[in-house]
Amino acid sequence: MTRAISRRTFLRGTVGGAAISVGLPLLDCFLTGNGDALADGGALPVRFGTWFWGCGMNPDRWIPAVEGPDYELSPELQALAPVKQHVNVISGLNTILDGRANYPHSTGILANITGTVSGTEGGVSAPSVDVLISREIGKTTRFRSIEMAATGRPTQTYSIESEAVRNASAVSPLELYARIFGAGFADPNAGSFVPDPRLVLRRSALSAIKDDVARLEGRLGSHDRQRLDQYLTAIRQLELQLDVSLSGPPDLDACRKPPAPRGEDLGTDLPQTRATHEMMTELLVFALLCDQTRVFNMLFSWSLSELRLPGAEINHHQLTHDEGVDQDLGYQPRATEFALASMDAWAGFVARLAAEPEGAGSLLDGCLVMAHSDSSFAKSHDVNKIPFMTAGRAGGRIRTGLHVALPGEPASRMGLTMQQVMGLQVGDWGTGSMQVNRAIDAILA
Amino acid sequence: MRRIRGEMVRSPRRAGLRWLLVPALVAAIGCGGGGGSTGGGGTPTTPPPGTPPDLLADAPAIEPGTAAMRRLTEVQYKASIADVLGDDVVVGGRVELDDRRDGFLAVGSSFVSVTPAGFEQYDGIARSVAEQAIRGSQRAALVPCEPVAATGADDACAREFVRQVGRRLLRRPLDDGDVESRVVVARETASELGSFDAGLEAALATLLLSPEFLFRIEATEPDPGRSDRERYSSVAMASRLSYLLWNTTPDEELLAAAERDELLDDASLAAHLDRMLDSPRLEDGVRVFFDDQYGFDQIAQGLVRKDATLFPAFSQALIRDAREQTLLTATDHLLTEDADYRGLFTTRRLFMSRTLGVVYQVPVLSPAGFEPHDLPSGSDRAGILTHLSLLALYSQPGRSSPTLRGKFVREVLLCQDVPPPPGNIDFSMFEDQSGDRRTARDRLRAHNDNQACAGCHALMDPIGFGLENMDSMGAWRASENGAEIDPSGQLNGTSYDDAVGLGAAMAGDPLVGPCLVQSFFRFALGREIAPGERAFLDWMNARLSERGYHLREIIRLIVMSDAFRSTSGPRAAAGEARS
């Protein structure tokens, strides 16, 4: 948490306009509370992310035959060969519905990330696991979390604060670049740092809006009070963002500003999505190196995957339903191409983070990424044997390179494990049959 | 079972002609004996010239629904800024996404809040807009005084500015608390930066971020003589009227009247309503209704895409023009012509741009913009169901979809529920395009063999088959994969031969008019219909089915009703018992 500082004190201290070099004591008060995380590249931040693809896989071809560290990659996991040592495959987890309706492509995914099966289509009754984690570890960074979708559709997001508030995905790499590395970014390689007095004034002016909120609260019913509380949270996040900008460039050896993306072509043709995904991954790498956020969500394709080959009449999701199972092969060859392409993109994502040095290891070593899908066999909207994976060692907190089979166990064990690894004090999580109190200890270091 | 052939029903242009053409028109659609229930291209009645204060004298009592604040939609946000700060202020960048709920962004607006990323966007826009307003040509109009010195703070002048512009932005008179917090912002900034105007910019930016600008938080007060409900204050009524009818913030005339409490009694409310109904700005409100109901926000956001190989003629310019065509057709029919809504499904009048003319294969003389166009008698198209906009929107990127089109008609235009598909279905028979499954009808026929699918698909597919002569982007075709398309089908017991006949069946369907009323009601109120409002809607429909579904009349009836003017109290949070 940021220590309290009088606004007037700070105004007097910075508005003189004098150049102030990085790390001036005056500005240290705006550094993150756990200053050790930023000091000398010593203990580096640990980040949490999700990576989602739609329409699942073929369980018989995806789940490895053997458990443990010496498993062989299954036919649908071949793309992971170069990154196998960085990844855990967690198989067999079920969304347990307790008799509630399985709304296709929505019930499973929403239950898995919130720990609760909703009785309504698209409904949620609890925040998603990334939000729970960002509320704890996102309090000191410029962005509490960053959501991205490689599909061109900002409404496609599984980062959920509440029924009413879903964090929209950034869909344009150009806009994402401007948001993270534009005017508000304190560039460590831009020479001496001069705090902008205008930022201080903006920070101060936000209190007028908080006053507005305070004046309104008594007038409203409970529905609107909740919405106004969300609004207040959003204001506080901007205050924090200004504090971080005013505290000077990040004191991280690996931090540098990336080149701006050159053009973009948004859409769900497979080549479009793959290119967008790669551009966003690139921006994410630098955002993490510069500690602009510690939580991210990457959506490769929507649960009703609209991925399509150029020239094809129908898309991935339609193929999962319309294409017959080839009697010789035992699966749907065209639909499966998209599952393979998704695994290939995921492997590329992991490889990119693993290739980036940070501290004594790689950027990936300081991350915990959970990859998952909405279903297993999408043709029948099956929410048993949901595919999960993790990548990264979370700063040494987990082991990797394993296949862990948990047949029939509630999928919420995944979310509980993610929260515990990220340091949240949560003993049990979820409701109904999805209520769990056991982390997946096989992957804990 | 009636059988309707596609016939030309031309919407008459001039009011004088309407009376002459009506008998021919009724005969043309062959609704003999059907009485007023068959809408066709118009009705023999015209709405009254104005709103009588006792309009609802015979209406049943209403138990109104709950109240919730509504976040300005993206269009409302931009229009409100332009109205208050000037048209030449550019609102760049994205704002927080609108959320569709129960079919309407307008309903979603009473559920959404603001995310951290969304607030960042509002903040960036607020600063940019404030800078443009204070540094631009409109400064003189916005700043009612001159400061003692341009290089420093002047509380008195800043106070005057905040009070004046804040009243318009927050849509109510400001109290001292609102004003003084902004005067402090102006003073601090002006002193530190040595510029009075910089202080105004900062103060203005905070007004644009006020929850009372971004949300419509409408004040209520005790309703005299009714202890079980609250009524909206006169000032709140100004916003309710203005955002519904004009989709923007109240103008000075309305706000001033509201501050004199003129929007509470029937007679003066009716007078203000009539002024707004007669204004050309009514078109803005009506366009937004159709944008919202039809899901055209997908087009505005560039999300309707087609495969470039299969549909080389498709472009974003084309689909944007297609949306404009439908909105121009709807507003022309409903506002300029004051015609019956049901005629929208048969009218051959539409508006063409050169880009659209290429696909419709009609010559367009105007080099730019739109011109009115009448499809000839015997044309393969008539009515909005045959517009490119809806055909392309409710299709897949590579293939038309009778199911999506049928679902749209059932759910959006007829207000019927279609159950979700069951799990564990073998869909593989629909993919085989060889042999005798070359058309969508052949592929979807498989549903009829499957009990789990048949019930719901029977609701959707036959309607969509009627539109199969128009492909995924809405272009005409006679065949699919070499097989001739059979566009015949039936709607709620009425058979038709083709898309034009489907439009005529829609115009005569008894569900069409009530669905518009129900939809517009939910759009206007931003919420679901309350049980205590059902009887009022039934009464409205009885009246409208007799006199014609004229949109201005529908607006009058809703606005003058207690559903629009009062509330049972604030909405409780989900999971809490209603108080």
3-state secondary structure chain A: CCCCCCHHHHHHHHCCCCCECCCCHHHHCCCCCCHHHCHHHCCCCCEEEEEECCCECCHHHHCCCCCECCCCCCHHHHHHHHHHHHEEEEEEEECCCCCCCCCCCCHHHHHHHHCCCCCCCCCCCCCCHHHHHHHHHCCCCCCCCEEEECCCCCCCCCCECCCCCECCCECCHHHHHHHHHCCCCCCCCCCCECCCHHHHHHHHHHHHHHHHHHHHHCCCCHHHHHHHHHHHHHHHHHHHHHHHHHCCCCCCCCCCCCCCCCCCCCCCEHHHHHHHHHHHHHHHHHHHHCCCCCEEEEECCCCCCCCECCCCCCCHHHHHHHCCCCCCCCCCHHHHHHHHHHHHHHHHHHHHHHCCEECCEECHHHEEEEEECCCCEHHHCCCCCEEEEEECCHHHCECCCCEEECCCCECHHHHHHHHHHCCCCCCCECCHHHCECCCCHHHEC
Q: Which residues pair with B349 in a beta bridge?
A: B374
Q: Between B282-294 and B512-525, two packed helices, what is the crossing angle to 10 degrees?
A: 110
Interatomic CA distance for residues A149 and A155, integer angstroms: 9
Put simply, the chain A residues between 264 and 293 with a CB less than 8 A from any chain B CB are 267-268
Q: Kindly report the backbone phi and psi dihedral angles of residue B374, in degrees, each rounded to the nearest multiple of 5, phi listed first.
A: -110, 120
pLDDT at site B457 = 81
| Chain B nearest-CA residue for A14 | B192
ipTM comes to 0.87
Exposure string of A275-292, with b = 16+ CB inside 10 Å and e = fewer, is bbbbbbbbbbbbbbbbbb
A72 CB within 8 Å of a chain B CB: no
Greater pLDDT, B208 or B41:
B208
Strands B215-216 and B70-71: antiparallel
- pLDDT confidence of residue B473: 96
Share of chain B above pLDDT 70, in %: 86
**Residue pLDDT, tens place only, B277-336:** 999 999 999 999 999 999 999 999 888 989 888 999 999 999 999 999 999 999 999 999
What is the per-residue pLDDT for A20?
34
What share of chain B in percent tops pLDDT 90? Answer: 74
| pLDDT value at residue A401 | 98
B-chain residues near A322 (CB < 8 A): 427-428, 430-431
Q: Which residue of B has its CA nearest to A221?
A: B570
- Is 0.90 topped by the overall pTM? no
The answer to whether residue A311 neighbours chain B at the CB level (below 8 Å) is yes
Q: What share of chain B is helix, strand, coil (3-state, %, to 5)?
A: 50, 10, 40
Query: How does the average pLDDT of chain B come out, rounded?
Result: 88
Residue B54 has pLDDT above 50, yes or no: yes
Q: How confident is the model at residue B379 (pLDDT cuts 50, 70, 90)?
A: very high
Tell me, what's the pLDDT at B203?
98
Judged by a CB distance cut-off of 8 A, whether residue A205 touches chain B is yes
SS3 label, residue B183: helix
Does the pLDDT of residue B420 top 80, yes or no? no
Residue B74, pLDDT above cutoff 70: yes
**pLDDT tens digits along B13-42:** 333 333 222 333 333 333 333 333 333 444
Partnered with residue A50 across adjacent β-strands are A297, A370
| Spacing of C-alpha B15 from chain mean position | 26
CB A113 within 8 A of CB A380: no
Q: What is the pLDDT, as a whole number, of residue B84? A: 97
Cβ-count burial A352-375 (b if 16+ within 10 Å, e if not): bbbebebbeebbbbbbbbbbbbbb
Amino acid at B299: I
Question: Quick check: B113 and A227 in contact, CB under 8 A?
Answer: yes
Count contacts between A and B (CB, < 8 Å): 200
Chain A nearest C-alpha distance from B49 (Å): 40
Residues of A in contact with B68 (CB under 8 A): 221, 223-224
pLDDT one-digit tens code per residue, B1-21: 444 444 333 333 333 333 222
Ramachandran category for residue A392: left, alpha or beta (phi over 0 → left; psi -120 to 50 → alpha): left
What's the rounded Cα separation, in Å, for the pair B474 and B387? 7
What residues in chain A have per-residue pLDDT under 50? 1-42
Q: Which pLDDT does position B213 carry in this prediction?
A: 98
Q: Which residues 529-558 of chain B have a CB within 8 Å of chain A?
A: none
Contact B119 A202 (CB under 8 A): no
pLDDT value of position A385: 96
**pLDDT classification of B48: cutoffs 50, 70, 90:** low
pLDDT score of B206 more than 70: yes
What average pLDDT does this structure show over B510-534? Answer: 97
State the amino acid at position B323 in one-letter form.
R
Q: What is the mean pLDDT of residues B132-142?
A: 94
Any chain A CB within 8 A of the CB of B101?
Answer: no
Q: Please say if the pLDDT value at position B370 is more than 60.
A: yes
Please enumerate in sequence order all residues whose Cβ is within 8 A of that of B81, keeping only pairs 6 or more positions apart, or say none. Answer: B89, B91, B129, B208
Task: Tell me, yes or no, if B434 comes closer than 8 A to chain A by beta carbon.
Answer: no
Contacts of residue A120, Cβ cutoff 8 Å, sequence gap at least 6: none
Residue of B nearest to A311 (CA): B309
Exposed / middle / buried, residue B132 (Cβ in 10 Å: 0-12, 13-18, 19+): buried
Contacts of A103 in chain B (CB under 8 A): 420
Phi and psi, residue A376, nearest 5°: -95, -85
Which pLDDT score, from 0 to 100, does residue B47 have? 52
Contact B180, B141 (CB under 8 A): no
Residue found by looking up tokens 């896989």 in the block: A57
Please work out, in degrees rounded to the nearest 5, the angle formed at the alpha carbon of residue B415 by the alpha carbons of B411 and B420.
40
Separation in Å, CA of A171 to nearest CA in chain B: 11
Of B134 and A247, the one with more pLDDT? B134
Q: What does the pLDDT read at residue B243?
A: 98
> What is residue B283's three-state secondary structure?
helix
What pLDDT, on a 0 to 100 scale, did the predictor assign at position A128? 98
User: Which pLDDT band, with edges at 50, 70 and 90, does B573 fall under?
Assistant: confident
Say yes or no for a CB contact (<8 Å) between A379 and B182: no
Which chain A positions have a beta carbon within 8 Å of B397's beta carbon? Answer: 306, 308, 315
